[in-house]
Structure 1
Amino acid sequence: MREDLVRSRVYCCFKCRNIVALHDDILKKTYRDGHGRAFLFSHAMNIFEGPKADQQLNSGVHMVSNAYCSDCGQLLGRKYHKAYEERHMHKVGKIVLTKYKIAKAVDPPTYL
């Protein structure tokens, strides 16, 4: 059992309510991705990644993979694997979850 998850504010997939991230892991709330507002997280859980590929984003070219809910397969965001500009290196290893694809868990379970 992970005591750090107990009673922590959590975010879940908007479709199936699978827990995917902790509020305490948010690095930036004013993030934007191609789908609108998003949160930059230090890490996420209960997701799987698609193949890595270079992609042209608003901030330039990055190597990213799509991040999907492990329960229902819903696309939730993307994970950064490589930045080609020094000023974007802080994103590497981080995950962006689109705000409208995640929801605050109303009554998070205490058994995690």
Structure 2
Amino acid sequence: MAEYSNPTYSCRNCRNPLASGAHLLSKSFLAKSGKAFLFSEAKNIVEGPKEHKQLITGIFKTAEIHCNICGQALGWKYLKAYDLSQKYKEGKFIIETAKISKEYN
């Protein structure tokens, strides 16, 4: 039963594993397509160019993230937060739930 408490989140398009349930920090974020998850770590991704983005909670320096196999846009990585109350997001990943599948090994 323990294996069910730690799923893997994979690219919905090509099933490439992207993040572990052990690294899931929050399920209460929003992105372009709607609901999104905040992860402390992500793998098998490619970061796009750095850009400044105005989001609901302030201005951030971010990089879009894509699946390293199929190129699907997944969300973004927070590189820098300019508001002190948002610093906890730095180095974390937003992955849109519409772009991932939850899998159990």
**How high is the TM-score relative to the length of structure 1?**
0.85
Alpha-carbon offset, residue 25 of structure 1? 0.5
**What amino acid is the match of 1:73?**
G
Partner of 2:80: 82
* CA deviation profile, 1:41-98 (whole Å, cap 9, x unmatched): 0010000100111111111110000010000000001000000100100000000000
Q: Provide structure 2 residue ranges, at least 5 long, that are not aligned to the other structure.
A: none
Partner of 2:31: 33
Structure with greater helix share of residues: 2
Partners of 1:24 and 1:50 in 2: CA distance = 25
Alignment check: 8 A CA contact 1:67 1:75 kept: yes
**How high is the TM-score relative to the length of structure 2?**
0.91
Alpha-carbon offset, residue 30 of structure 1? 1.3
CA RMSD of aligned residues (A): 1.4
Partner of 2:55: 57
Partners of 1:20 and 1:55 in 2: CA distance = 23
Partners of 1:55 and 1:75 in 2: CA distance = 16
Q: Provide structure 1 residue ranges, at least 5 long, that are not aligned to the other structure.
A: 1-6
* CA deviation profile, 1:9-33 (whole Å, cap 9, x unmatched): 1010000000000011000111112
- Tell me how many residue pairs correspond in the alignment: 101
Alignment check: 8 A CA contact 1:17 1:105 kept: no
Percentage identity across paired residues of the two chains: 41
**What amino acid is the match of 1:22?**
S
Secondary structure of 2:64's match? strand
Alpha-carbon offset, residue 8 of structure 1? 4.3
Partners of 1:104 and 1:17 in 2: CA distance = 10
How do 1:1-112 residues align onto structure 2 when only pairs under 5 Å count?
Answer: 8-106=6-104, 108=105
Secondary structure of 2:49's match? coil
